[in-house]
Structure 1
């Protein structure tokens, strides 16, 4: 009987932790209006044999403004200004843009910087792993190119994101030095086409 009660109490504790992870995501979406962090992104091929690692910084301001600045191994900037999403490749000196509504949808960026969490995603608590409490966010849009998406929290703070695309390629972003509700200059979310750069509008 004691063993049964112990099992029940452990199960209840695990369920509470998982529920806390969903609450942590909801709190993040509701309470964190701006943020910045460093990140390391590891992209793994579907067969698990090839990996690419990149790093940079991430900033956002709700609603729908964000900036991913990749520094290594090559420079690339992705900026959303609330109306459009811009991608600039420094090596090619080429930029592309598309309307935010077409680009954002049920994407990882929508989870981090959007305002319609429950409208765009179905949330489900997952088992804690690697010291993180994980939440799965399943896109409600049938045409989404994402197979699965989950966010990891440590003590209710955002720590990681993992995405599996429709081809089985896995991308994991580990965040560091996360700062919430910090003042960010408006120009961080404005894109100016560098001199001589080509622009492709989609």
Structure 2
């Protein structure tokens, strides 16, 4: 069979070049989008000083079976002030006041308290409410998933108590956090009704031991 005319060869080559160019453009766009997720995380830590949201938390065992689901409200103010108020299936309150972390169980009428420096460290709460992102975590970009842009944060400290976090953003807004602990268990927090940059009363991050409750110090 005779070779195709020169014009046809040139056209075919131009088509291949266009396809290669399109693929390269898509790869560059994907790489840029992934890099943007890390930039979004950096901007979140740098620019978003306060926030609040509803959350649901699902904890899954290493074998993939769902272990438990809980939910409540989350509020934070940098630096190092936060409040997790679990409403279901059981009430529990976790408050970081900038100096100490308090955990209160209404059913047991017991509270525990630890210094912030011991309780926080390179933890998920430190990432969401702290200011030392680059010092405490190694950051990398992940492929988009579930309509969100994802960044991964791996603690630099070996004793952080967990393996890694994945933080998902819808645009510039915090949408999800996934935590993989040292036992392979995964906790997924999904946020809704998110408000960033809101004014929060100082008492939001104060804990007063209820009358009759027992205080356990650690």
Considering the TM-score relative to the shorter chain, is it more than 0.5? yes
**1:136 corresponds to 2:136:** no
Q: Could you give the per-residue CA deviations for residues 51-108 of structure 1, whole angstroms, max 9, x where no partner exists?
A: 3111100000000000000001000000000000000011111100000000111100
Alpha-carbon separation, structure 2, partners of 1:116 and 1:56: 27
Match of 2:33 among 10, 17, 22: 17
1:149 partnered with 2:168: no
Equivalent residue for 2:181? 165
The reply to whether residue 118 of structure 1 matches residue 125 of structure 2 is no
Query: For this pair of structures, how many residues does the alignment match?
Result: 202
1:127 corresponds to which residue?
143
Residue number in structure 1 paired with 2:201: 185
**1:86 aligned onto 2:102:** yes
Q: Distance in 1 between matches of 2:172 and 2:76?
A: 18
Please tell me whether the aligned partners of residues 21 and 156 of structure 1 are also in contact (alpha carbons under 8 angstroms). Answer: no
2:50 alignment partner, one of 25, 28, 34: 34
- In the TM superposition, residue 182 of structure 1 has moved relative to its aligned partner by 0.6
Q: Which whole-Å CA distance do the structure 1 matches of 2:107 and 2:19 have between them?
A: 62
1:61 is aligned, of 58, 69, 77, to 77
Report the CA distance between 1:50 and its aligned residue. 3.0
Q: Deviations over 1:25-46 (max 9, x none)?
A: 1110011111000000000111
Question: Using the alignment, how far apart are the partners of 1:41 and 1:123 within structure 2?
Answer: 23
- Find the aligned partners of 1:49 and 1:42 in 2 and give their Cα distance: 11
SS at match of 2:144: coil
TM-score where L is the length of structure 2: 0.91
Q: Larger radius of gyration, structure 1 or 2? A: 2
Give the TM-score taking structure 1 as reference length.
0.98
Unaligned runs of 5+ in 1: none
Structure 1 position 144, deviation (Å): 1.5
Deviation at 1:8, TM superposition (A): 0.6
Runs of 4+ aligned residues of structure 1 deviating over 4 Å after TM superposition are: none
Q: CA deviation at 1:48?
A: 1.1
